[in-house]
């Protein structure tokens, strides 16, 4: 659901930027009051993992479409909604700036759609209600599945509304919503399964982490080092190797646009703010489409044929670099809040 700038008007894009900035400010303020210092490195490594996981599109059988992990719900379960929203903001900002994945004008909308709904709606009102205070395996599965599906359905519907309010006549509400919701239902089911698998692994290996997360207790007396190493290793393997095997089928949003208009992408208006932002993004993005940019094009030397599907060293480099950049930005968010909270305590 990474919207391109062509799908959104300056008015709607500006409104979503302002709305998302307000949510981020709220999240930062809440974290300053109750920041668990041990979550700062966890924000970084989880951000790196979700970035890498979003590179791996899985095919949706029988549709010609694909999807990938959103990750907002997983972050909310392990970090809480406020830290999760800021971590998701880090991921999507890195993707837009350095990978040209999602437009700059649409960045506010993309953060809201992929961050607000799973973190502030699906997690507290679906997942936590189902899981309860002393969850068992069955409750974790039911909670993750239901919350993943509902969170993604809300995000997909928001994309439709933002596009319609932007006056994109090529995507009328009725036809667009009838394409977006079913395909994202299928993607949501897979996201629920992936989230469940990660949660059950942590529940088996380090159950105290989930118990404290559900009860909103600090992780200060829990040794996180083995988990941090495991998640970071998973991020490197996912971004550096598993990304080679990502489905080439259009994702849910691209597929819906293709079915409605006959093309995967719409052309952005020329001579407007869209053109200015597109030019900036082209200059900033060093890994456009998750590959190496060389003189404006993807380097031919980045590709190496093997007995496996085409092994793309550029994709590996992009995956590892993006994971590191996300880790640093998410950790920087956390560290900044940590310092601000410390200053606040000294003043009091």
pLDDT of residue 144: 95
pLDDT at residue 303, rounded to an integer: 43
The pLDDT of residue 81 is: 95
Average pLDDT over residues 339-343: 73
Residues 6+ apart with CB under 8 A from 288: 99, 100, 282, 298
Torsion sign across C-alpha atoms 214, 116, 1, 289: negative
228: pLDDT strictly greater than 70:
yes
Task: Find the distance separating the first CA and the last CA of the chain, reported in whole Å.
Answer: 43
- Mean pLDDT, rounded, for 39-62: 94
Q: Residue 187: which of 274, 275, 58 has the closest Cα?
A: 58
pLDDT > 80? residue 274: yes
Is 147 inside any structural domain?
A: yes
Instruction: Say what the pTM is.
Output: 0.92
The answer to the question of residue 327 being in a domain is yes
Q: Are strands 297-298 and 293-294 parallel, antiparallel or unpaired?
A: antiparallel
pLDDT tens column, 230-273:
999 999 999 999 999 999 999 999 999 999 999 988 888 877 89
Higher pLDDT, 163 or 293: 163
Contacts of 163 (CB under 8 A, 6+ apart): 3, 7, 8, 171, 176
Please report whether residue 82 resides in a domain. yes
Let me know if residue 31 belongs to a domain.
yes
The tally of domains found in the chain comes to 1
Q: Evaluate whether 298 touches 313 at the Cβ level (below 8 Å).
A: no
Domain that includes residue 324, residue range: 5-276+308-347
Inform me whether the pLDDT recorded for 293 exceeds 80: no
CA distances from 226 to 38, 84, 220, 231 (A): 13, 21, 15, 9
Is 297 a domain residue?
no
Q: How many CA atoms lie within 13 A of 80 on its CB side?
A: 21
d(CA 188, CA 194): 10
Q: Is residue 39 part of a domain?
A: yes
Cβ atoms of residues 286 and 98 within 8 Å: yes
110: in domain: yes
Nearest alpha-carbon partner for 281 in 37, 105, 48: 105
> What CATH number is associated with residue 126?
1.10.1760.20
Inter-residue contact 216 to 80 (CB < 8 Å): yes
Domain membership of residue 298 (yes or no) is no
pLDDT in tens, 191-220: 999 999 999 988 888 888 888 887 777 777
């Amino acid at each position: 659901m990474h919207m391109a700038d062509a799908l959104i008007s300056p008015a709607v894009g500006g409104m979503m930027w302002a709305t998302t900035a307000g949510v981020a400010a709220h999240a930062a303020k809440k974290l300053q009051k109750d920041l668990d210092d041990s979550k700062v490195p966890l924000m970084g490594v989880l951000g790196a993992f979700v970035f890498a996981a979003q590179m791996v599109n899985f095919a949706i059988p029988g549709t010609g479409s694909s999807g990938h992990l959103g990750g907002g719900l997983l972050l909310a379960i392990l970090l809480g909604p406020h830290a999760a929203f800021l971590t998701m903001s880090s991921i999507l900002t890195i993707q837009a700036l350095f990978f040209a994945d999602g437009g700059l004008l649409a960045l506010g909308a993309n953060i809201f759609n992929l961050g607000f709904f799973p973190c502030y709606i699906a997690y507290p009102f679906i997942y936590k209600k189902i899981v309860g205070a002393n969850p068992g395996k069955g409750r974790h599965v039911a909670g993750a599945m239901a919350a993943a599906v509902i969170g993604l359905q809300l995000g997909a519907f928001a994309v439709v509304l933002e596009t319609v309010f932007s006056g994109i006549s090529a995507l009328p509400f009725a036809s667009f919503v009838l394409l977006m919701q079913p395909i994202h239902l299928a993607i949501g089911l897979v996201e629920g399964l992936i989230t469940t698998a990660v949660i059950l692994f942590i529940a088996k290996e380090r159950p105290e982490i989930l118990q404290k997360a559900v009860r909103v207790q600090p992780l200060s007396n829990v040794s996180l080092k083995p988990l941090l190493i495991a998640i970071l290793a998973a991020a490197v393997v996912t971004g550096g190797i598993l990304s080679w095997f990502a489905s080439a089928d259009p994702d849910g949003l691209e597929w819906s646009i293709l079915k409605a208009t006959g093309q995967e992408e719409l052309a952005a208006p020329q001579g407007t703010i869209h053109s200015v932002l597109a030019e900036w993004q082209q200059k900033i993005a060093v890994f456009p489409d998750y590959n190496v940019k060389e003189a404006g094009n993807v380097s031919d030397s980045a590709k190496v044929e093997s007995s496996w599907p085409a092994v793309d060293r550029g994709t590996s480099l992009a995956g590892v670099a993006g994971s590191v950049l996300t880790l640093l930005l998410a950790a920087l968010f956390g560290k900044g809040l940590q310092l601000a909270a410390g200053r606040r305590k000294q003043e009091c």
